[in-house]
Structure 1
Amino acid sequence: MESHFWEEKWHKQELGFHLPFVNPVLKRNLPAFDLPAGSRVFLPLCGKTLDMGWLLEQGHRVVGVELSELAVRQLFEEREVEPLVDDWAGGRRWHHGDLTVFQGDLFELTAEQLGPVDLVYDRAALVALPEAMRARYAPHVCELSGDAPQLLISFEYDPAEMAGPPFPVFAGEVRRLYQDQARYALCELSRQDVIEKQDHFKAAGVTAFVLVAWKLIPLSV
């Protein structure tokens, strides 16, 4: 999947993946990580999610990476703040208060540039990528974050009923990407069929759309 695919989505404002509210999965499951105030939470492929503002309100520092400059610009505009903008090797870095977003290619970002991470919140990144890119993405995010704990949201549905993105990522693949690499122990926090709330998928003929929240616990701790 090429970068222009997502750039085009933002320019056409085809933002079915953007929730107009804070993700209840985050609100419900963040306490399971027992983060102290001031923890640094990393959101790969963050878009302009309202989850970042909510995390800031909880007293955390937030850092994201997002390909689309339009998405990042809208994020700060909607927060009604004027960010400081400078360059990094893969694009531009936007910063205001406890919020930093690296605009550019996630795969060009290094752990040194990103800085320390206390939690990875993968709300819509893994599921946005086709299988071959997921195999590259997962270890890269682990390296970036120093194998920090992760709150991962995955979707399960019959790919014969609809083509992604978002793509279905079943439990076996989550185990292969994270547990079988001897990086994490996995804990399934919740599993719920939310097809009745997914108009787009329901209209396409998807009969079940299961949202799964995972807690990835580093084995190195």
Structure 2
Amino acid sequence: MDTSFWLTKWRENNIAFHESEANPLLVKYFKELSLEKGSRVFLPLCGKTLDIPWLLSNGYRVAGAELSNIAIEQLFTHLEVEPQISRVGEVEHYSAANIDIFVGDIFDLSSKMLGLVEAIYDRAALVALPRAMRDRYTAHLTEITDKAPQLLICYEYDQSLMEGPPFSISDEELNQHYSYNYDLTLMLSTNLPSGMKGKCPAKENVWLLRND
């Protein structure tokens, strides 16, 4: 799976993964991060998620990384904000009051480009990547955010019954990625009513990752 896979999804508007409202699990569990208003939250592989307007409306600053210009142009249209666009290294930087989105390959984003991150909200990034990429992604994310705490949402199901994305992330794998730098707490594990795309049983798990 390469960048063309996701760029094609956005170009063809094949974005069933896009939710029509802020994720209820974000709304319910975000307070567990114990952030002060004005804190800067990083959303990797953010798309045009409505989680971003929710965070902004609740007084937080947002940074994001996304591969598709189409997604981010639609995001700013929804926000009714005209971004300033500049080039930073290999990525484009879309910025406005309280929001910075970096468009390009997330592996081209450095901690210096990204700036201060006080928490990470990962709903759509880890589950979007095949196993071969997840080791690299989790190491990179930890590095560029200086081990910022995370609210992480992922799925668990029998991967042999369905190809991702979204991919299945087991508790064991998550610990392999993150237990060296974080204390992991499973906040919720719930069965998806229709399973994973109606093809197999699946659980949706909400994790809190803290390093204190």
| Superposition TM-score, scaled by structure 2 size | 0.98
Q: Which residue of 2 aligns with 1:201?
A: 197
Q: Partner amino acid for 1:123?
A: R
Q: Partner amino acid for 1:93?
A: H
CA distance in 1, matches of 2:99, 2:151: 19
Q: Which residue of 1 aligns with 2:18?
A: 18
**Cα displacement string for residues 14-57 of structure 1 (whole angstroms, at most 9, x for unaligned residues):** 11111011001101101111110100000000000000110011
Superposition pairs for residues 170-185 of structure 1, below 5 Å?
Answer: 170-179=170-179, 182-185=180-183
Superposition pairs for residues 45-84 of structure 1, below 5 Å?
Answer: 45-84=45-84
Q: Equivalent residue of 1:27, what SS?
A: helix
Q: Equivalent residue of 1:8, what SS?
A: helix
**Cα displacement string for residues 87-135 of structure 1 (whole angstroms, at most 9, x for unaligned residues):** 1112211011101100011001000110011100001100000001001
CA distance in 2, matches of 1:20, 1:58: 18
Q: Which residue of 1 aligns with 2:206?
A: 213
Kept in 2, the 8 Å contact 1:121–1:151? The answer is yes
Superposition pairs for residues 135-150 of structure 1, below 5 Å?
Answer: 135-150=135-150
CA distance in 2, matches of 1:135, 1:91: 22
Query: Runs ≥4 in structure 1, deviation > 3 angstroms?
Result: none
**Cα displacement string for residues 48-92 of structure 1 (whole angstroms, at most 9, x for unaligned residues):** 000011001110000000000111111101111111111111221
The CA deviation at 1:5 is 0.4
Q: Which residue of 2 aligns with 1:187?
A: 185
Q: Equivalent residue of 2:8, what SS?
A: helix
Q: Partner amino acid for 1:211?
A: E
| Superposition TM-score, scaled by structure 1 size | 0.94
Q: Partner amino acid for 2:203?
A: V
| Unaligned residue ranges in structure 1 (runs of 5+) | none
Kept in 2, the 8 Å contact 1:195–1:201? The answer is no
Kept in 1, the 8 Å contact 2:94–2:101? The answer is yes
CA distance in 2, matches of 1:87, 1:195: 44
Q: Partner amino acid for 1:201?
A: K
Q: Which residue of 1 aligns with 2:157?
A: 157
Superposition pairs for residues 124-139 of structure 1, below 5 Å?
Answer: 124-139=124-139
Q: Equivalent residue of 2:17, what SS?
A: coil
Q: Equivalent residue of 2:160, what SS?
A: coil
Q: Equivalent residue of 2:63, what SS?
A: strand
Q: Partner amino acid for 1:188?
A: L
Kept in 1, the 8 Å contact 2:91–2:109? The answer is no
Kept in 2, the 8 Å contact 1:195–1:210? The answer is no
Kept in 2, the 8 Å contact 1:45–1:125? The answer is yes
